[in-house]
Structures are given as C-alpha cells and as structure tokens.
Structure 1
Amino acid sequence: MKYNKSNPIFSSYQNNTNLFDEIFDKNENVRPTYKKILELYSDHSIQDFANLNEKAKASFFNQGITFQVYSDKKAQEKIFPFDLFPRIIEAKEWETIEKGVIQRSKALNLFLWDVYHKKNIIKEGIVPMDLISTSGNYLRQMIDFNPPGGIYNHISGTDLIKHSDGKYYVLEDNIRCPSGVSYVICNRNALKRALFGVFNHYEIQTVTDYSENLLEMLESVKPKGVDSPTCVLITPGVYNSAYYEHCYLAKTSGIELVEGRDLFVEKDFVYMKTINGPKRVDVIYRRIDDLFIDPMEFRKDSVLGVPGLFAAYKKGNVTLANAPGTGVADDKAIYTYMPQIIKYYLNEEPILNNVHTYHCSNPDDLKYILENIANLVIKPVDEAGGYGISIGNRLTKEEIEKVKMVIKENPRKYIAQPIMSLSVHATYIDETNSFEQRHVDLRTYTLLGQDKEFVLKGGLTRVALQKGNLIVNSSQGGGSKDTWVLKK
C-alpha cells in the first residue's frame, strides 16, 4: 500500500530513504503493521492533531507529569513531551527483544556476583582488572557480601536502537537507578484519552501491570525470616528530576514514599516513622545514588540518606534494590565486554547485538579514535542523560581538537562507537504543525527477583525532537511515544 499524500496529515512528510523509516519503506509503501492506523489517522485533520496535542500537554501538566531540567543557574520543571503517533512492535520482534534483555540482565547479575567475590572472569583474562578497580562505581564495601536472593540488578533499563539494517542493537545497560518507566504507562493513558478508537483495531499488550510485578519482585527478595515484608521507595525529594516517577511508582505499587528523614536505624534494623510509632522496613527500592544512601559509610555530607542503613544492609536485615555497587557493571567500558560476559556465565551467544566499541584506555583503540573522531561518537563511561556525548561529524575542527585533549587527559573515562543510524518514526512537531521524521530509540525495563523475571511489554520509545539529532534523552530536549507490542 502506497500512502496517499493528498491527505493533509502526511502531505509534507519527507521520507529520507537513507534512513530506516519504521512506517514507510524506501519506495514509500506503508509497512503492513501501520496500514490500519494510517487509515484511522487519515480521518483527522492536522488541526485535529494540533488540538489533541494541546489537550495531551494540559493533561500531563494537570497530573504533574513533569521532569526537571538542570542548568548552571536554576532548575526548570517541564512537561514531558508526548507524541500522538504510537510506535508498533510486532509480537515476533518483541519476543527476540524480551529474550535478549533477560539474557543480558541475568549475565550482568552473575558478573556482579563474580567481581565482588571470586573474580573468576578477571583471573581468566576475559575482563581486565583495571577496568574494575578504576571504576568509580566499584564499591569495596560490597566485596564478599551476598545480597538477599543473590540479586544485584533488580531493575534494569536496556537502551536499544534499530539500525539502518533493520536489526536491533543495544546502546547501553542501565542498572543503577533506571528511570522513565512511569512515562510508559502515562503515555498509554494519554493516547487512550486522545484517540481511544484506534485501540479497537489492534490487540496490544498491557503496560499497566508493571507496578504489581515490581511489588512482587521486591517482596521476593525480602530478608531471611520475614514473612510479610514492608517495602518502601526512598526518594531524594521534590527537587529530583524523576520525583514524579517516584510518587507514581510508590502509589501504584501500594508502598510508602519516604525520604531519608522518614527512616532511622536502631540495633541494625531499619524503621519508618509513622503516626502510630516506628514500623520496621524490610525492602527499600532506592532512587538515591550509592554515595548518598548512608552518611556514616559514604559521603558524610549527605542529607538524603539514612545513618546506619548500610550496616543494617550488611547484616542482612534489609534489602536494597538495586544493590549498591551495581554501577560497575553498567560502566560503558564494561559494555565492550558484554558478548564475552554472556558467553562466560550463560554459555550462550548474545541474542541482541552490541555496537562495536573502542575504549580509550586501550593504546591501539586510542590511536584509532584520535585519528577517526570525525566518524565516531565519544561517550563518557559514567554519565547519564545524554550528557558529555560528542558526535564527530557534527564537530568543527576546533571542537575535534578539544575533544582529543579531553580524551588524552583521562582515557579511562571515555569510549567511542561508530555513528549508528537510529531508525526514524513519524512524529508530530509543534513548530511546523506537521508530521516529520525523527530519530527514536527504545528503553526496555526488566525485573529480576527470587525465581522471578519480568519484562514490561512496551518500554519507552524516546524521540529526538530536534531535526537530525541523535540524542533522545529528555534532558537534551527529547520526547516520547506510546509503544505498542502486538499480541500476535
């Protein structure tokens, strides 16, 4: 089916055939998965979409669905940009994604146990020790400690792209405090309010079961001797960029949202202050970084954490999800070794592709990187939110020289990857009041517990709203789409 461009919705749509468009093929034929929704959307005018877009913004704002963007001088609260055209993933395609992210999560969990215990993968020369020992996220306090249930990365966020070859590639693994899952559910609700009729024509997997699965996972890793665990979510507070999400997940999971000042430790047990007196806490879903969770063990100036919390954790009296020290495994330098890590621990070939990655601490890689920056993406190994990324073909000669200097000052801090061509998707753009191609990625969410694994059937499709931009993070001006996974 070739799309009829006489319809005003896509009359100005420019299909760059050098990019992988998820809706149209190179001959401008509509891909089968999208035929029905394009027919349904053709019943609306572009002004209808402009009006629906404004309603969606108002709905997000009224519900408090916002995030913080930090600058040098002030923090700004913004509505999370939401696009009205959903991304659709076929059932067979999703099956591969789901198996792949579970495989990675399991392998990373085994890797974390190993690097904090026997270090066999290091002794056998598969992963260099210096990458572990020089990682700022490697916590020596976790050495030889067994977390409840043997789980480190209870919640994992895996970032995927679809390349111009039509295959999925993993860009990075996020296993410290991966964010964004609340927007997956809110996007679905917003689209249902705006265009409920389109849902009658597709059989779509639900995304509203995440919170109940989150609670089941948290309860599965309760400390020994606890029958009915009390779970809480600890937040840094209202000024955190993901505070809306913290509130949402606590509310929908039926657990208390607390700050550090709401908890205290007595005789190596954690208690929550309530109007009825202290109540023991058994499992803490933490959205506070490692170094801020306990001023007695880590940063003494932290007012976000709970004094004595880490001692209670080491005694096995409370579970922290995710476990402290998981960040050593989502270091982008470790990402380089993920195919070997999967093979070593699971004796399996990776289901999902890695992007070829060069590490600047490797002399041969460094030489190649410095000679080819114009064709590479340079990333800091420990940053999130799209910060610190340099895309070589967007840099001037002077900027390339600056990047070279920064890399040479601290090679351990940087990796480089080829510039991948992220797939594009039709996206409503406010400024032009039309649908245009924009680059997208996909963040999936995996839960690992005691005898429990779950992948949210949808994930967060993030959109780079600026034309040609490859960085999709909300902190860099990105937005998101509802992501439909078909049942069959």
Structure 2
Amino acid sequence: MTQAFFNEMFQRSEMHAAGLPAAAFSGAGDPRTHYREFFTWMCGQSVQQITNKRAEAELNFRRVGITFAVYGAKDETGVGTERTIPFDVIPRIFPAAEWGALERGLRQRVNALNRFIHDIYHEQNIIRAGVIPAAQITGNTQYRPEMRGVNVTRDIYAHIAGIDIVRAGEGEFYVLEDNLRVPSGVSYMLENRKMMMRLFPDLFSRNRVAPVAHYPDMLLDTLRAAAPEGADNPTIVVLTPGMYNSAYFEHAFLAQQMGIELVEGQDLFVENDYLYMRTTQGPQRVDVIYRRVDDDFLDPSVFRSDSTLGVAGLIGAYRAGNVTLCNAVGTGVADDKSIYPYVPDMVRFYLGEEPILNNVPTWMCRKPDDLKYVLDHLPELVVKETHGAGGYGMLVGPASTHAEIEAFRAALLAQPDKYIAQPTLSLSTCPTYVESGIAPRHIDLRPFVLSGHEVRMVPGGLTRVALREGSLVVNSSQGGGTKDTWVLER
C-alpha cells in the first residue's frame, strides 16, 4: 500500500474535501505528528494483508463470543440475531498532552455529577439556589423518591461513568452524553486492544501506546472502595439480567476478569435486611453489587412488581446500608437529556470552577421559544428523546426525509417536554478501512471514569465509528463499529 495510494484513498472523499475536522490529518492533508509513525507503517502494508487481518479479527471475535444482540432484529426463522460489532484496524490516536487536558475535564465533570446526585437526594441546594427548576428533577421519571435521605458510601453514586465525547474542531471537545446508569462498552475497548496487539505486534514496538489492560483491576478496586463500613474483605458480584441481554458478553467478561461471581436475581435473596448469594456451601453474604440491571427491575417489592430480574427486599437492604449498589439507584436523573444542559452550571455551583469540557448547545423543547426555533429549523438539527438511548428515537435533520421530519414535527407538538435538539456538529473523522478502501468516517469516544478512593480512568476509551458514509450515528445498535483508541506516552 503505497503512500500515494493511502493519500488518494483518503483525500478523494467528499467529506474530507468539504473541510471537516479530521483526527489523523491536517487541513493540508498531511498526517498529524502523532499519526506519522502509524502512517509510515500503513504505507508498507498491502491491501491484501489488511483485508486478511480484518477477516482474522472477525473470526476471532466470533470464536470468543464477542457479539452484540440487536433488539428487534430477527433471522428468517423469527429468532433474535447476534452479530459481532464491526472492528476497524486503523486506530484512533491521541497525543499525551491532548489526552491530559481531556482527562482533567472528565474528572471535573464526574465530580460535579456525583455532587449533584447527592444533593438532589439530600439538601437540594441547587434547587433552592434556583439553578435548576425543581420540576425538572422531582418530575423526572428517573428521579427515585426512595433514595431521599439515603446515605451511600463516600457519597459516590456514579462509580462507573461512560462520558461520550466528540471533537468538532482542532482541540474542541464537547460532551455529547453522560452515561451513569449502566454504561456499557468497556469490554470492547479491552478486546479491541488485545486484537490489535495480536494482529499487529510490530506496531506496539514502534509506538509507545499507554496500556488499558489494567482496567478490570481498577474497576475491582473501585467496587471494593464502595463496600459498606466494616466489610474489610467484601464479597462483590456482577448482577446481570441474563444471557439474552444485549451486553451479556460484557457482564460475563468483566466478572471473569475481576475474579468475582456473575449472578442473576434468582441467585440472591434478602434476609433481615442483608443480601445473600446461594452457593453450594450455603448462603454467603454479598456486600457490593456491580449491577447491570436497570432501576425498575431491581426490586419487585419497590419498583416493577412483575420483574423477575431483581431481588425482593434488595432496596430495604440497600437503604439500611448493608449492601452497596454500583451504580447507585437514582443516578439516571443525572444522565437524562433534559438535565444535560445544566451540567456546566453544576460544575460552577459545586466546584466553583469553569467547565473544562463544553456541552453541545442544546434547545429544550419544553421551553416555548426553544420549541419555536426547533420547529423552524428541523431540517438542520438533531432531535433526541430525553430518555432515549442507543441511537433510537432521534432525528438527524440533514439526513432525514421530508416525511420523517414531519413525523417528528407532530411528535414535538404533541409532547415537547420529551425532546431536546442540538445543532448538527461537523464531527471529526478518522481514516477507516471500509469496503471501498480507506475513507474518513465520523467518530466519537466513550472514556470510562471510575470513582472510588479517587477519580481514575485508563488512558483511552471506546472509539465508535459510523460506518455508513455521511452518517453521524455511531451506536452499535444502529450499525456502527469500533476502533482501538491509543494514547501515546510522552
């Protein structure tokens, strides 16, 4: 693969010609400094070599069972389908200084979010100060009155946070979403790195790439730090909805990597406000649950009575301080898209600092003036459901048909409080190996931030890529793929 071929494959893209920001190349089409070593290596590979490596990655991911269940997708027999998430062999690369600035912003944001969640379930100072209207919080479907006055270990609610980051220009990072309920995807970050090291070991001898393999150890330390007082050697479990959940591979993977039990609700029971796990040697007390089950299904005696995924009495044990749930019940109110516009105000209110990371400008459709603007500019905007996730329930105006836009217009007029809108950002692109060759595709990044004794993260995260040309939707459930994320050490 000659340098001329590589240049031609990248630069002939209309998106690049349009001047959209690129992660790997300058506006003049030259590789950025931190990509030069990779670029030189890539020019020495043949198209057939890369094609063979892509096929090898696909085969290995399937053999290991790294698949993703797409809700609603069925085969010809009516059975739900699973597939591997497409993996791209061209990494997304950060220089150390750029990552350092991003990390500082992530620490700041997660600190503020944890203080906010504690506040709204205790003193509610941010409401009293008039920063956020009370109805925006207490009227939110993710607000859990059952958590009022409940004290949690170290006042930490979001022990694991997945913060979605996009870049819209040179050094301009924006937070797209805060994922605090049951953030997923970290197993793909880890497996992508293992795959790249297996396929291209010579690349890692030529580049000083910061490691990410210690994430499970950091996660286990975070969970231990969350144990109730007096639990010196805590028993920790991963609670999964079961094998039919789309992220079940990740649940099993993380439990195995941390050396702890993977359990379902039927494996647990509560007695005298203590939680126990059924084992072949009798009941064993459980101190910490890393839960991958939504609030509504955790305890049928408190939330959904028809839930078979949770444990009756769990919330009573939780309120008594005898078990810790990571993440805490009620964290969802802080990652709701109707609360997202207030996060910069949270940083100022709780920390007395200016936000390092910016939000994407957001119109809240519950406000009459904002709604009018959105209705007048629907073809230009991205409209999202405030409780939506996975790329569902959203409109990307520039990529939508007239009929789709008008359908969203009707939905907005009927229930404006259910939606927010944002401008269509010129998201950065990264060279991606697609069927037609190498072309830029839009990307985002989900770093995973852990809050225990301190706020920590591994250098990198899950880079998601929109594989369809021109698409801005990177979610795996919508056909997106993933890349390895490199942070170059100094």
TM-score relative to the length of structure 1: 0.97
d(CA) in 2 for partners of 1:260, 1:479: 32
Match of 2:375 in 1: 370
Equivalences for 1:18-167 in 2 at 5 Å? 18-71=19-72, 74-167=79-172
**Cα distance change of structure 1 residues 44 and 13 upon mapping to structure 2, 3 Å threshold:** farther
Is 2:192–2:484's contact at 8 Å kept on the other side of the alignment? yes
Deviation of the 1:133 alpha carbon = 2.2
Out of 447, 453, 456, the position equivalent to 2:458 is 456
Equivalences for 1:140-219 in 2 at 5 Å? 140-219=145-224
**Cα distance change of structure 1 residues 268 and 297 upon mapping to structure 2, 3 Å threshold:** same
CA offset digits 1:383-439 (Å, max 9, x no partner): 11111110112223332221111012111211001111111111111x32x111100
d(CA) in 2 for partners of 1:160, 1:210: 19
d(CA) in 1 for partners of 2:409, 2:6: 49
Q: Does 1:443 align with 2:442?
A: no
Match of 1:316 in 2: 321
Amino acid at match of 2:449: T
**Cα distance change of structure 1 residues 9 and 186 upon mapping to structure 2, 3 Å threshold:** farther
Q: Does 1:224 align with 2:226?
A: no
Match of 2:332 in 1: 327
d(CA) in 1 for partners of 2:450, 2:403: 45
Is 2:11–2:17's contact at 8 Å kept on the other side of the alignment? no
d(CA) in 1 for partners of 2:326, 2:304: 19
**Cα distance change of structure 1 residues 316 and 7 upon mapping to structure 2, 3 Å threshold:** closer
Match of 2:305 in 1: 300
d(CA) in 2 for partners of 1:167, 1:460: 19
Deviation of the 1:86 alpha carbon = 0.7
Deviation of the 1:11 alpha carbon = 7.4
CA offset digits 1:60-99 (Å, max 9, x no partner): 0111111100117652111121110111101110011111
Is 1:270–1:309's contact at 8 Å kept on the other side of the alignment? yes
d(CA) in 2 for partners of 1:148, 1:370: 45
Is 1:336–1:357's contact at 8 Å kept on the other side of the alignment? yes
Is 1:5–1:11's contact at 8 Å kept on the other side of the alignment? no
Secondary structure of 1:320's counterpart equals: strand
Is 2:449–2:457's contact at 8 Å kept on the other side of the alignment? yes
Deviation of the 1:134 alpha carbon = 2.3
Is 1:8–1:46's contact at 8 Å kept on the other side of the alignment? no
**Cα distance change of structure 1 residues 11 and 149 upon mapping to structure 2, 3 Å threshold:** closer
d(CA) in 2 for partners of 1:461, 1:397: 32
Deviation of the 1:118 alpha carbon = 1.2
Deviation of the 1:224 alpha carbon = 1.5
**Cα distance change of structure 1 residues 235 and 28 upon mapping to structure 2, 3 Å threshold:** same
Is 2:459–2:487's contact at 8 Å kept on the other side of the alignment? yes
Out of 408, 420, 423, the position equivalent to 1:418 is 423
Is 2:10–2:440's contact at 8 Å kept on the other side of the alignment? no
Deviation of the 1:323 alpha carbon = 0.3
Is 1:233–1:258's contact at 8 Å kept on the other side of the alignment? yes
Match of 1:485 in 2: 487
d(CA) in 2 for partners of 1:121, 1:218: 28
d(CA) in 2 for partners of 1:310, 1:275: 26
Query: Quick check: 404-413 or 234-243, which moved more?
Result: 404-413
Deviation of the 1:9 alpha carbon = 8.6
**Cα distance change of structure 1 residues 107 and 11 upon mapping to structure 2, 3 Å threshold:** closer
**Root mean square deviation, CA, Å:** 1.4
Query: Quick check: 120-129 or 471-480, which moved more?
Result: 120-129
Give the paired residue count.
Answer: 483
Secondary structure of 2:244's counterpart equals: coil
d(CA) in 1 for partners of 2:290, 2:141: 22
d(CA) in 2 for partners of 1:97, 1:297: 39
Match of 2:467 in 1: 465
Amino acid at match of 1:61: R
Amino acid at match of 2:62: F
CA offset digits 1:190-220 (Å, max 9, x no partner): 0111111011111111101111011111111
Deviation of the 1:7 alpha carbon = 5.5
Deviation of the 1:26 alpha carbon = 1.9
Secondary structure of 1:35's counterpart equals: helix
Amino acid at match of 2:220: L
Amino acid at match of 2:118: W
TM-score relative to the length of structure 2: 0.96
Secondary structure of 1:435's counterpart equals: strand
Match of 1:275 in 2: 280
Out of 373, 394, 406, the position equivalent to 1:401 is 406
Secondary structure of 1:57's counterpart equals: helix
Secondary structure of 2:69's counterpart equals: strand
Is 1:380–1:388's contact at 8 Å kept on the other side of the alignment? yes
Deviation of the 1:12 alpha carbon = 7.5
Secondary structure of 2:169's counterpart equals: coil
Secondary structure of 1:76's counterpart equals: strand
Amino acid at match of 1:164: G
Deviation of the 1:336 alpha carbon = 0.5
Amino acid at match of 2:17: N
Equivalences for 1:228-247 in 2 at 5 Å? 228-247=233-252
d(CA) in 1 for partners of 2:441, 2:7: 19
Amino acid at match of 1:4: Q
Secondary structure of 2:70's counterpart equals: strand
**Cα distance change of structure 1 residues 256 and 456 upon mapping to structure 2, 3 Å threshold:** same
